[in-house]
Amino acid sequence: MALQPYATTGQRIWYYSFRVICGLILFFLIFPIIIIIPLSFNALPYFTFTPGMLALEADAYSLEHYRDFFYNDAWQQALWNSLSIAPAATLLSVSLGTLAAIGLSSGKMPFRGTVMAILISPMIVPLIISAAGMYFFYSRIGLQGTWFGVVLAHAALGTPFVIITVTATLVGFDRSLTRAAANMGAGPVRTFFKVQMPLILPGVISGGLFAFITSFDEVVVILFLGSAGEQTLPWRMFTGLREQISPTILAVATLLVSVSVILLVTLEILRRRSERLRGMSPG
């Protein structure tokens, strides 16, 4: 909100102070992430800025760590595992979360608040507790250490994000559209795909992106449930920091930050599109 010309002195002080505070908080949150980007181009195997880097010498910068990531079999296997687990978990999360959100949005749903609390509990319960519980449960049914078990676990973590985003999208949904489709002879399935889905699609995609990020970046659950064959990229980075310090981790982290920025921009575009479809102006 812009500062009004007739604002008082106190309002002007608060207006500028608030922006300075927000800027400092943003700097505090973003700077530790931004600092790894120039470090990833270090020509030497160090996690610190060398004198040559500080002097902006060309020889002090290199793409060696990026080459190591793309040509190292261990890193590429971890990347492939992440790219095979995350999309499968996302697809399952989107399917279950969308159906659950549609059911929860119905006014006739009994114990709606209780069911909603249970479904989004993976977001509230500490991840280490969820991982331990999944480990003991999956061990009993033979899913511990399997690809399918990891996908199910990540889907359980990503489903709450889909439920929340789709439920928020359904708030502005006009129920008369589904009744009109039913009056014209459309069945529930056809009504869902032809009437509801096009309108709630931005929320579904947003929830799917959150679920994908959750699965792709998750490391605690995979440490409990995964085997050596399911070593994902975050797991590889974690073990690399613990066992042998490799500057390649900085290159991987830079790539992950870039992917996250692209996904966040996509989410913002979808949010604005969803608000336009509901007749709202983006804030």
Model confidence pLDDT, tens digit, residues 69-101: 898 888 899 999 999 999 999 999 999 999 888
Q: Are 168 and 116 in contact (CB under 8 A)?
A: no
Residue 45 identity (one-letter amino acid) = P
Q: How far apart are CA 22 and CA 16, in angstroms?
A: 10
The structure tokens listed for 247 are: 């500057």
Per-residue pLDDT at 281: 43
φ, ψ for residue 253, nearest 5 deg: -60, -40
pTM for the model stands at: 0.79
Residues of the chain with pLDDT below 50 are: 280-283
Per-residue pLDDT at 257: 87
Q: How far apart are CA 118 and CA 115, in angstroms?
A: 5
The structure tokens listed for 240 are: 């690399």
Per-residue pLDDT at 21: 93
For residue range 219-229, what is the model confidence (pLDDT) as tens digits?
889 988 888 77
Q: Are 181 and 133 in contact (CB under 8 A)?
A: no
Q: How far apart are CA 239 and CA 245, in angstroms?
A: 9
Per-residue pLDDT at 167: 86
Per-residue pLDDT at 277: 62
In 3-state terms, what secondary structure has residue 143?
A: coil
Residues in the chain: 283
Sign of dihedral through CA atoms 131, 134, 140, 142? negative
